[in-house]
Amino acid sequence: MIKELSELGEIIRDEKSKNERIHIALKQEIISIDLVIHDDGRFERFQPIDKVRTTCEAVTAKKGKARLLLDRAEEVLCYGGNKAKRKHELFIKKLKLYSDLRELEPVLKFYESNKANGFDKARQRFENDIPKEKDRKGNIAFRLFNAEKRIHEEEAVYQKIIEIDMVSQEKSLSKFRTTCSVCGKNTYAIPEIHEKIKTVPPVDDGKYAARSIVSYNDNAYESYELRRNANSSICARCAKNYVEGLNWLLSAGPRVKNKKGKEFTAYTNRKNFGSDTTMVYWTRKNELLPEIDQLEAPNPDNVARLIESVSSGTERDSRYLEPDLFYSCTLSGSAARIAVRDWIETSLFDFRKAIAKWFQDIAIDEYNADLKKTQTHYARLYDLARSCQRKNLDGSNDKVDTSLARVAACLWNVALKKIPPPLWILTKVLQRARLDKDGVTAGRAALIKIILNRNNRGGDFMVTEKIEQSDRPVAYVCGQIFAKLENIQYATLGDRNAGIRERYFTYAMTSPASAFGRLFDLNSKHFTKLKNEKAGLAITLDKELQELCQDIDINNLPATFLLEQKGQFAIGYYHQRQKQFSGTKAKDNKEEGIE
Ligand SMILES: [Zn+2]
């Protein structure tokens, strides 16, 4: 995983370096003030600038170090508290390292031979020229009077920085002569400290803590007298690359506004699962993946096209002739570290096949009351996970139930690896279907369908998208009968009383033999009442009920249903209800003369 992240970091840097100069020894920094001097080192003026980015020497872990030609007032002007003296010395020491560069002559004169007109004057004028204290805190850079570039931006300076970096790399290399475990080379030294990863959840006090993904901060993990990350054998270049790659994945995306006008990042390579887990994904060549957006917000036409193209192989023949790889990793922060929950690597072609299969497996019919027709429902992956989350009495999601991230991460894995979802998710979704007011929603039915089908080892009943007419298992038919009984009760009483679903759904699903005895007693009362009021409707509904009952041995129902049978019961109930919705509406329309 570190290798793939490191390769991505390299690609991102290559893209950036088309416009900017980027080398491992160089870095982007922001400048706030130009210190303008003359060739002879004479001070001219301070020029405040509106924070611009510039490429300069990269200094990691700044403590005890100064940057060449670009730093804060403490270093450049020996300005500020008692630490300034030491910092200024470091700055001058760094300058001396580069004293053979012709470009630096004016700066050296500023500090030495022409100090009275240079440094001393600048020091006197600083507070006056930059009146606000907060403006004095930014980086200061040297610029020659009337020159276009700043001194540190001269090509010769960059060259020298790179050169010195190589020499110091070689020096430290002699200390740890280890081959990098990621790139297999020994060009760069093995650093003891890696930079931090910035935005892995959870947030503490509204902020992301910077965390490490590779870290040996406990002595117990250190060996062979190697300090800290030197134990991981990752070279400086690869360490820099993987950190940049991962930070890019976690933050890439345009800034957009939501409906309330609040700005947020529309991540292109990241999905959050709940509040403590996030997933990042990319391809080896860092290409965009429209299929992922489908998981997030499926559009039936696009899904249909995806399934079609994958099954017919046309996409493979044209676009994906070249094999590209797809990667994804799921991360959670814990204290200062990052835990890798999951790592997936697959070919882009298999990835697309897996997504297409996922959609086929979660496709389920749903009656759309607005359009007055039944259509295929493709749930968002996140909504499927959401449908397992416990709810509060007011219908909002119970935040204490932290299973959301676990279920979402698990379903993601299921989708990409084409594996069966674990049965504990079935237990969870059935529990929500029994206890929540909205019951067996399309999302829950879709989830139950994929769990049952992918776990169906050699069993002969496969749940289909549409209602099943023949060869159904007993539990499925019981679910249908339950929906029909509910239908009759509703026709008789309306929604004045608690429906039989609230009172009997769990009972019927777990102990069918005794529950259905009770339910049929109750139904005969409803039927008698309905026959007196709406004879025609009573006869139609009863006929439909009798037809369903004929398909199974209604007087010999099992005492209990097992977990998978409970799932079949829920699906039978769901399918029957969708059918009833569409049937009722068609009838209503006829009566009202709409059709
Ligand atoms: Zn390396």
- Secondary structure (DSSP) of 320-335: T-S--EEEEEEEEEET
The mean pLDDT of 266-271, rounded to a whole number, is 87
**Residue 593: pLDDT above 60?**
no
Per-residue model confidence (pLDDT) at position 595: 31
The mean pLDDT of 46-70, rounded to a whole number, is 85
**Residue 17: pLDDT above 90?**
no
Per-residue model confidence (pLDDT) at position 171: 63
DSSP-derived secondary structure for 147-192:
-SSBGGGSHHHHHHHHHHHHHHHHHHHHHS----TTT---SS---S
> pLDDT-derived band of residue 302, with 50, 70 and 90 as boundaries?
confident
> pLDDT-derived band of residue 473, with 50, 70 and 90 as boundaries?
very high
Dihedral, CA atoms, 582, 584, 586, 592, nearest 10 degrees? Answer: -150
Provide the 3-class DSSP secondary structure of residue 140: strand
Gap from CA of 54 to ligand 1 centroid (Å): 27
**Residue 3: pLDDT above 80?**
yes
Gap from CA of 172 to ligand 1 centroid (Å): 15
Which amino acid type is present at position 166? M
**Residue 238: pLDDT above 60?**
yes
**Residue 314: pLDDT above 70?**
no
Q: CB under 8 Å to 458, separation ≥6 — which residues? A: none
Gap from CA of 332 to ligand 1 centroid (Å): 25
Gap from CA of 180 to ligand 1 centroid (Å): 5
Provide the 3-class DSSP secondary structure of residue 195: coil
DSSP 8-state assignment for residue 450: H
Lowest-confidence segment of 43-47, 228-232, 250-254, 555-559 by average pLDDT: 228-232
Element (H, E) at 20: none
Gap from CA of 188 to ligand 1 centroid (Å): 7
**Residue 296: pLDDT above 80?**
no
Encoded tokens for 279: 């997933």
Gap from CA of 576 to ligand 1 centroid (Å): 60
The residue ranking higher by pLDDT, 211 or 309, is: 211
Classify each residue of 123-153 as buried b or exposed e, where b means 16 or more C-beta atoms within 10 Å of its C-beta.
Answer: beebeeebeeeeebebbbbbbbeeeeebbbb
Gap from CA of 171 to ligand 1 centroid (Å): 17
Per-residue model confidence (pLDDT) at position 151: 95
Encoded tokens for 117: 């007109």
Gap from CA of 571 to ligand 1 centroid (Å): 53
> pLDDT-derived band of residue 458, with 50, 70 and 90 as boundaries?
low
Quick: pLDDT tens for 82-120: 889 999 999 999 999 999 999 999 999 999 999 999 999
The mean pLDDT of 259-287, rounded to a whole number, is 87
Gap from CA of 537 to ligand 1 centroid (Å): 77
Gap from CA of 190 to ligand 1 centroid (Å): 8
The mean pLDDT of 27-35, rounded to a whole number, is 91
Residue 151 near residue 157 (C-beta atoms within 8 A): yes
Gap from CA of 157 to ligand 1 centroid (Å): 26
Gap from CA of 320 to ligand 1 centroid (Å): 30
**Residue 465: pLDDT above 60?**
yes
Gap from CA of 201 to ligand 1 centroid (Å): 28
Gap from CA of 234 to ligand 1 centroid (Å): 6
Encoded tokens for 84: 């300034």
> pLDDT-derived band of residue 228, with 50, 70 and 90 as boundaries?
low
Cα–Cα distance measured from residue 424 to residue 488, given in angstroms and rounded to the nearest whole number: 34
Cα–Cα distance measured from residue 367 to residue 64, given in angstroms and rounded to the nearest whole number: 68
574 phi-psi bin (left φ>0, alpha ψ -120 to 50, beta other):
alpha
**Residue 589: pLDDT above 60?**
no
Gap from CA of 216 to ligand 1 centroid (Å): 18
**Residue 594: pLDDT above 80?**
no
Provide the 3-class DSSP secondary structure of residue 338: strand
Per-residue model confidence (pLDDT) at position 112: 95
Q: CB under 8 Å to 493, separation ≥6 — which residues? A: 526
Gap from CA of 184 to ligand 1 centroid (Å): 6
**What are all long-range contacts of 364-369, with beta carbons under 8 Å and residues at least 24 apart?**
364/442, 364/445, 364/446, 364/449, 364/465, 364/574, 365/465, 365/466, 365/467, 365/575, 365/578, 366/442, 366/578, 367/578, 367/581, 367/582, 367/585, 369/581, 369/585
Cα–Cα distance measured from residue 501 to residue 212, given in angstroms and rounded to the nearest whole number: 50
Gap from CA of 169 to ligand 1 centroid (Å): 13
The mean pLDDT of 449-460, rounded to a whole number, is 87
Gap from CA of 396 to ligand 1 centroid (Å): 49
Gap from CA of 211 to ligand 1 centroid (Å): 21
Gap from CA of 18 to ligand 1 centroid (Å): 23
Cα–Cα distance measured from residue 473 to residue 566, given in angstroms and rounded to the nearest whole number: 11
| Percent share of the chain, pLDDT over 90 | 48
Residue 43 near residue 110 (C-beta atoms within 8 A): yes
Q: CB under 8 Å to 424, separation ≥6 — which residues? A: none
Lowest-confidence segment of 29-33, 338-342, 493-497, 534-538 by average pLDDT: 493-497
Per-residue model confidence (pLDDT) at position 85: 92
Provide the 3-class DSSP secondary structure of residue 113: coil
The mean pLDDT of 485-514, rounded to a whole number, is 88
Lowest-confidence segment of 397-401, 439-443, 510-514 by average pLDDT: 397-401
Instruction: Kindly list the distances between the CA atom of residue 135 and the CA atoms of 33, 53, 54, 76, in Å, as whole numbers in the listed order.
Output: 9, 16, 18, 15
Per-residue model confidence (pLDDT) at position 159: 87
Which amino acid type is present at position 112? E
Give the chain's mean pLDDT. 86
Residue 251 near residue 198 (C-beta atoms within 8 A): yes
Gap from CA of 223 to ligand 1 centroid (Å): 20
- Residue that is written with structure tokens 């001269």 in the block: 154
The mean pLDDT of 329-354, rounded to a whole number, is 88
Per-residue model confidence (pLDDT) at position 25: 84
The residue ranking higher by pLDDT, 207 or 448, is: 448
Instruction: Kindly list the distances between the CA atom of residue 8 and the CA atoms of 58, 325, 340, in Å, as whole numbers in the listed order.
Output: 20, 12, 18
Cα–Cα distance measured from residue 160 to residue 157, given in angstroms and rounded to the nearest whole number: 5
Residues with CB under 5 A from ligand 1 (ion): 180, 182-183, 235, 238
Gap from CA of 210 to ligand 1 centroid (Å): 23
Gap from CA of 306 to ligand 1 centroid (Å): 38
Instruction: Kindly list the distances between the CA atom of residue 264 and the CA atoms of 142, 252, 253, 256, in Å, as whole numbers in the listed order.
Output: 37, 12, 10, 6
> pLDDT-derived band of residue 36, with 50, 70 and 90 as boundaries?
very high
**Residue 288: pLDDT above 90?**
no
Encoded tokens for 54: 């510039």
DSSP 8-state assignment for residue 118: T
Per-residue model confidence (pLDDT) at position 311: 59
Gap from CA of 264 to ligand 1 centroid (Å): 35
Gap from CA of 240 to ligand 1 centroid (Å): 9
Q: Is the dihedral of CA 297, 298, 301, 305 positive or negative?
A: positive
The mean pLDDT of 73-89, rounded to a whole number, is 92
| Cα-only R_g, the chain | 34
454 phi-psi bin (left φ>0, alpha ψ -120 to 50, beta other):
alpha
Gap from CA of 231 to ligand 1 centroid (Å): 13
Gap from CA of 178 to ligand 1 centroid (Å): 10
Gap from CA of 437 to ligand 1 centroid (Å): 56
Q: Considering the entire predicted model, what is its pTM?
A: 0.73
Gap from CA of 34 to ligand 1 centroid (Å): 37
3-state DSSP helix/strand/coil percent for the chain, to nearest 5? 50, 15, 35
Instruction: Kindly list the distances between the CA atom of residue 328 and the CA atoms of 26, 206, 279, 541, in Å, as whole numbers in the listed order.
Output: 29, 26, 7, 52
Quick: pLDDT tens for 149-200: 999 999 899 989 888 887 777 666 556 567 888 998 887 878 878 888 989 9
Per-residue model confidence (pLDDT) at position 508: 96
Gap from CA of 51 to ligand 1 centroid (Å): 34
Cα–Cα distance measured from residue 286 to residue 442, given in angstroms and rounded to the nearest whole number: 35
